[in-house]
A and B are shown apart, each in its own frame.
Chain A
Amino acid sequence: MPNIIIQIKKAGLVGRGGGGFPTGLKWEFVKKAHGSEKYVIANASEGEPGVKKDLFILENHPERFMDGMRLAIEYLGDRGRGKKKIDVKGYVYLNPRYSKNKKLVKKLKQTIGSLPVTIFNKPKTAGYAGGEETSVLNGIEGKRVEPRLRPPFPPTNGLWNSPTLVNNVETFYDVSLAAAGEYKGERFYTINGDCLWTGVYRFPSDWTIEKILKKTDNYPGFDFFIQVGGDGSGVVLNSKQLKRPAVGSGSITVYSAIKHDPMVLIKKWADFFRSESCGQCTPCREGTFRLRELLGDKNTNWQMLLELLNNLSETSFCGLGSSAPTAIFSFLENVVMTPVGERMKLPKADRKMIADCLTCKLSN
């Protein structure tokens, strides 16, 4: 086994884009796949609201990040001693807001230096769905930016049908640390919302959310709940559920239970997915539209609303669609239906309907 794979596996690295797939395994898949050309893509689209850690890394540690990309390019290009190297090209698929930051781009270009890496600006209209791994491939190929049908998977049939490694910015950063023997099991956390010390932090990845909030002096003194792993698709937890590590893309957003109107929040989530849907599959294209429509009605039809949400997680084309209902479902279950939720602005009839529907959802 090559050194770099041993180091990655020993460090136990997993993807930091949100999926959490074992990094070493992914690299080996791409290595094993046949192809005279291979690609390495750093996914810096960071389309999930409330997550800013990739930006933080690009601004503050571009050398580390690019070192990770270099390691991937070298690893995939190497066919053993005496054999001709495989042609490996790299792309940084950059969030259009970040590419406007001239200082960031200049520094990134300097860091790239002579490496065969190109900065590709993610199309402005691509949005959230444009950050999905296979959407990234379509984006770079100049096709309509939307997820591809799998299988085949990118490690065998990726960019221009060649074996392709797609990793998040932070993942490459971690690889660089692991290769240098400096990886200490830490990750980045973005803290947002109703707290004083928002920003990007680095802590051990096994720390609980509670510990992180306390350590950063952000643990609220008021009734609150939080959303972990992105303000769009992240799971909502109440203050008694914080003795667990932050998952996914590692963001923690604090919401004051008094300040927030539950319906406004639900509409915000529904709006996000409606406007970000790529339109490819029925449950997401039409489902999120109908979801938002139901929320605009005078009397909310909770049964149908939850049915549509459930259908999204059951039948969506891509992972983004199936994680779309997480926020609303978990908000209803973990906040609205708890003592904290009782004090929130929501008619009793609605509350009862939600309770009935949730039990029926669980029983199915």
Chain B
Amino acid sequence: MIKIKINGKTVACEEGSTIMRAAKSKGINIPGLCGHPDLPIKANCRVCVVEVVGRKNLVTSCSTKAENGMEILTESGRVRRARNANLELIYAEHIEKCPECIWRFECKLLKTAQKYKLLITTFRDRKKDRRTYKFANAVEIDGTQCIDCRNCVDACSLLQNIHYLELAGKGVNQEVVPTKKKNIQCILCGQCAVHCPVSAAQEQAQWRDAESLIKNKSKSGKIMVAQFAPSIRVSIGEDFGLPYGQIVTEQIVAGLRQLGFDYVFDVNFSADITTIIEAEELLSRLSKKTAKAPMPMITSCCPGWVNYAEIYHPEILPHLTTARSPHIHGGGIIKTYWAKKMGLNPKNIVVVSIMPCTAKKYEAKRPEMKIKGLYPVDNVLTTREFSFMLKKNNLDLSKLKKSRADNPLGEYSGAAAIFGGSGGVMESALRAAHVLACGDRRSGVCRSRVDYKAVRGSEDIKEATVAVAGKMLRVAVVNGIGHVEPVLKNLKKYDYIEVMACPGGCIGGGGQPIPTSRKIISERAAALHEIDKKSAFRKSYDNKGALDVLKWLKNENHKLEHAVLHTKYKKRRKY
């Protein structure tokens, strides 16, 4: 521990800590825009400047380490002048599109302007003619809002190892642009968006579509159905001032109902379906390898990863499980099984998925997803878009009266709950495979196993050998697409691989609340395991509703069953 003086008060702080961190631990929040705990310190926005007595120039508190005896002023006249000047310069780089901006309730620019009583219009708008680069229907970079902090470029290259975003031009002409290199393509993971401080990198919003569909539903006769992902129940609370990792499943349901959705289903239910399909496939591949279904099997529920595989590694596509992802399963079941049960025309059902993900927007619009000419999912909103819709309608999630998801597509196992975190899909499938391989799961012949702790955790690549029904399976879990290459180079080493494009899995997804960082992700992961632990049943095969649906599909006809449950992949160079 060392001693420093902040604004006249002597405080102790850890050696090696930056001034910003030291100040924060004492309750002094120094504003900053370009810093992100996942990325190296860049110190380019120059908003967090402070005065160190005895130093000629101001220093950036994000990059300067506190030293013993240092005397720091965070609110001196010099500091205020400089901070305000840099903020006003940054405001001038950001064209305000507040009415349409889903970030407006969280916007740091608006908040600092209010706090320090600054005009956001001191200077003329310089970037009004900048381009917006759109990547498929999922992500966009709006050059008119960019403040040149470069977080998106760092997230794309240093975190994800994709190198799709680049900086072009010098000085005032500097601009974030997609690379011109032909062999590099965006995978739509949205890590640029979740690291952007000003919503210049963002999802291509679909909340307007959802809003107008709801508004016109009585006229159009559409039934509005919402389904929400496993991971958002442990993250969205943060947008409403709740602590990290607070579980708000029932508040989400209530919020969706308040927004005007007629039915609300939980994607956790479909995650049990996905798990069962995937486990069956794993065992079938294990017993009988073919060229079309080789080993190892690799998960495919992460659409960012699927994009990556199709673009960069078409040769491994046969290894991907043909099981569709949970929300596509969900949409398909809603428009077949549930529609029939309810006596509804599937054409009149609109399915909106609330996802932690930007790539899901593209996944939903893949033509191969269509079932009898209909897309299983019509719209995909990110967690942030959903938060925005709630706030826009003055709905405070933390204060909503709890409501339960509709049945029969509402119950779920603990295995489904953990789908949202890295290692979760693998663990769920292993539990199911174990049950399946043991034959009659009630017979007690083999002791069923639930916890596979070796595949949990936040390491970049997790490797383990696990016993499933007497067989030793060599498994690997890739936590973030930036770490996938070494595993793909050694495919033969494994039997089963899970890949999540975003660090941490869906709980660190590109559509999640901002900020999302390693530390926050670990809190969300802990909450998922909490749900799992407290679940009435923890294995997908114990989800009676799921088994009923699968039975129904089997009895219906093989073509429909296949269309609802399976998909295919193809080599691609662009979207």
Q: Taking beta carbons and an 8 Å cutoff, which residues of A are in contact with B?
A: 125, 127, 144, 149, 274-283, 285-290, 293, 307-308, 310-311, 313-317, 322, 364
Cα distance, A315 to B78, chains bound together (Å): 10
Determine if B242 is an interface residue (Cβ-Cβ < 8 Å): no
Segment at the interface with A among B40-48, B221-229, B531-539: B40-48
Number of A-B contacts (CB under 8 A): 96
Residues in chain B near residue A310, CB distance under 8 A: 81
Determine if B89 is an interface residue (Cβ-Cβ < 8 Å): yes
Which range contains the number of B residues in contact with the other chain?
A: 20 to 34
Determine if B99 is an interface residue (Cβ-Cβ < 8 Å): no
Q: Taking beta carbons and an 8 Å cutoff, which residues of B are in contact with A?
A: 41-47, 49, 57-58, 60, 63, 77-78, 81-82, 85-86, 89-90, 92-93, 123-124, 126, 147-148, 167, 169-174
Q: Are B82 and A282 in contact (CB under 8 A)?
A: no
Q: Are B86 and A283 in contact (CB under 8 A)?
A: yes
Cα distance, A246 to B90, chains bound together (Å): 37
The one of B41, B44, B77, B170 that contacts A282, using a Cβ cutoff of 8 Å: B44
Residues in chain B near residue A311, CB distance under 8 A: 81-82, 85-86
Contacts A282-B44, A282-B46; is A314 near B82 (CB within 8 Å)? yes
The one of A127, A144, A315, A364 that contacts B77, using a Cβ cutoff of 8 Å: A364
Cα distance, A357 to B158, chains bound together (Å): 45
Q: Are A282 and B172 in contact (CB under 8 A)?
A: no
Q: Are B41 and A149 in contact (CB under 8 A)?
A: yes
Cα distance, A307 to B81, chains bound together (Å): 8
Contacts A277-B172, A279-B169, A281-B46; is A286 near B81 (CB within 8 Å)? no
Cα distance, A347 to B277, chains bound together (Å): 82
Residues in chain A near residue B124, CB distance under 8 A: 293
Cα distance, A275 to B147, chains bound together (Å): 19
Q: Are B89 and A286 in contact (CB under 8 A)?
A: yes
Shortest Cβ distance from residue B118 to the other chain A in the assembled complex, whole angstroms: 13
Shortest Cβ distance from residue B351 to the other chain A in the assembled complex, whole angstroms: 44
Give 6 closest A-B pairs by Cβ, nearest first.
Answer: A279-B174, A286-B89, A277-B171, A311-B85, A279-B171, A289-B172
Q: Are B46 and A315 in contact (CB under 8 A)?
A: yes
Residues in chain B near residue A315, CB distance under 8 A: 46, 49, 57-58, 60, 82, 85-86
Residues in chain A near residue B78, CB distance under 8 A: 314, 364
Cα distance, A277 to B126, chains bound together (Å): 16
Shortest Cβ distance from residue A345 to the other chain B in the assembled complex, whole angstroms: 28
Cα distance, A308 to B82, chains bound together (Å): 9
Contacts A125-B170, A277-B172, A279-B174; is A286 near B57 (CB within 8 Å)? no
Shortest Cβ distance from residue B359 to the other chain A in the assembled complex, whole angstroms: 28
Q: Are A149 and B46 in contact (CB under 8 A)?
A: no
Q: Are A276 and B171 in contact (CB under 8 A)?
A: yes
With A275-B171, A283-B85, A289-B126 already in contact, 6 other A-B pairs whose C-beta atoms are closer than 8 Å: A277-B171, A283-B46, A290-B92, A315-B46, A316-B46, A364-B77
Contacts A308-B85, A315-B86; is A285 near B171 (CB within 8 Å)? yes
Residues in chain A near residue B147, CB distance under 8 A: 282
Q: Are B85 and A307 in contact (CB under 8 A)?
A: yes
A-B contact pairs, 10 of them (CB 8 A): A279-B174, A280-B44, A283-B46, A285-B172, A285-B174, A290-B123, A311-B86, A313-B57, A315-B57, A315-B82
Contacts A149-B63, A274-B171, A285-B172; is A317 near B44 (CB within 8 Å)? yes
Residues in chain B near residue A282, CB distance under 8 A: 44-47, 86, 89-90, 147-148
Residues in chain B near residue A281, CB distance under 8 A: 43-46
Max chain B C-beta neighbours (<10 A), residue from A127, A149, A274, A276: A149
Cα distance, A310 to B44, chains bound together (Å): 17
Residues in chain A near residue B46, CB distance under 8 A: 281-283, 315-317
Residue of A nearest to B60 (CB): A315
Residues in chain B near residue A308, CB distance under 8 A: 85
Shortest Cβ distance from residue A208 to the other chain B in the assembled complex, whole angstroms: 26
Shortest Cβ distance from residue A177 to the other chain B in the assembled complex, whole angstroms: 32
Cα distance, A286 to B60, chains bound together (Å): 18
Contacts A313-B57, A314-B78, A317-B44; is A278 near B171 (CB within 8 Å)? yes
Residues in chain B near residue A144, CB distance under 8 A: 167
Residue of A nearest to B167 (CB): A144
Max chain A C-beta neighbours (<10 A), residue from B77, B123, B147: B123
Cα distance, A144 to B167, chains bound together (Å): 9
The one of A149, A278, A283 that contacts B170, using a Cβ cutoff of 8 Å: A278
Cα distance, A337 to B85, chains bound together (Å): 26
Contacts A313-B57, A315-B46; is A290 near B170 (CB within 8 Å)? no
Cα distance, A274 to B172, chains bound together (Å): 8
Cα distance, A322 to B49, chains bound together (Å): 14
Q: Are A279 and B57 in contact (CB under 8 A)?
A: no
Residue of A nearest to B59 (CB): A315
Shortest Cβ distance from residue B567 to the other chain A in the assembled complex, whole angstroms: 41
Shortest Cβ distance from residue B408 to the other chain A in the assembled complex, whole angstroms: 56
Cα distance, A281 to B170, chains bound together (Å): 12
Shortest Cβ distance from residue A255 to the other chain B in the assembled complex, whole angstroms: 27
Cα distance, A274 to B173, chains bound together (Å): 10
Residue of B nearest to A307 (CB): B85
Residue of B nearest to A304 (CB): B122
Max chain B C-beta neighbours (<10 A), residue from A277, A289, A308, A316: A289
Residue of A nearest to B43 (CB): A149
Residues in chain B near residue A149, CB distance under 8 A: 41-43, 63
Q: Are B57 and A322 in contact (CB under 8 A)?
A: yes
Cα distance, A204 to B330, chains bound together (Å): 84
Residue of A nearest to B123 (CB): A290
Residue of B nearest to A313 (CB): B57
Residues in chain A near residue B42, CB distance under 8 A: 149
Contacts A311-B82, A314-B58, A364-B77; is A286 near B174 (CB within 8 Å)? no
Cα distance, A196 to B93, chains bound together (Å): 46
Q: Are A279 and B45 in contact (CB under 8 A)?
A: no
Q: Are B171 and A293 in contact (CB under 8 A)?
A: no
Cα distance, A149 to B34, chains bound together (Å): 14
Q: Are A290 and B171 in contact (CB under 8 A)?
A: no
Max chain A C-beta neighbours (<10 A), residue from B46, B47, B60, B174: B46
Residues in chain A near residue B58, CB distance under 8 A: 314-315
Q: Are A286 and B90 in contact (CB under 8 A)?
A: yes
The one of B92, B123, B170 that contacts A279, using a Cβ cutoff of 8 Å: B170
Cα distance, A82 to B301, chains bound together (Å): 62
Residue of B nearest to A310 (CB): B81
Contacts A149-B63, A317-B46; is A286 near B82 (CB within 8 Å)? no
Residue of A nearest to B87 (CB): A282
Cα distance, A285 to B123, chains bound together (Å): 14
Residues in chain B near residue A276, CB distance under 8 A: 171
Cα distance, A281 to B86, chains bound together (Å): 10
Cα distance, A308 to B170, chains bound together (Å): 20
Residue of A nearest to B86 (CB): A282
Q: Are B89 and A290 in contact (CB under 8 A)?
A: yes
The one of B41, B77, B89, B174 that contacts A283, using a Cβ cutoff of 8 Å: B89
Q: Are A279 and B126 in contact (CB under 8 A)?
A: no
Contacts A277-B171, A279-B173; is A314 near B57 (CB within 8 Å)? yes
Residues in chain B near residue A316, CB distance under 8 A: 46, 57
Residues in chain A near residue B173, CB distance under 8 A: 279
Cα distance, A125 to B81, chains bound together (Å): 33
Q: Are A279 and B172 in contact (CB under 8 A)?
A: yes
Cα distance, A212 to B287, chains bound together (Å): 91
Residues in chain A near residue B174, CB distance under 8 A: 279, 285
Residues in chain A near residue B170, CB distance under 8 A: 125, 127, 277-279
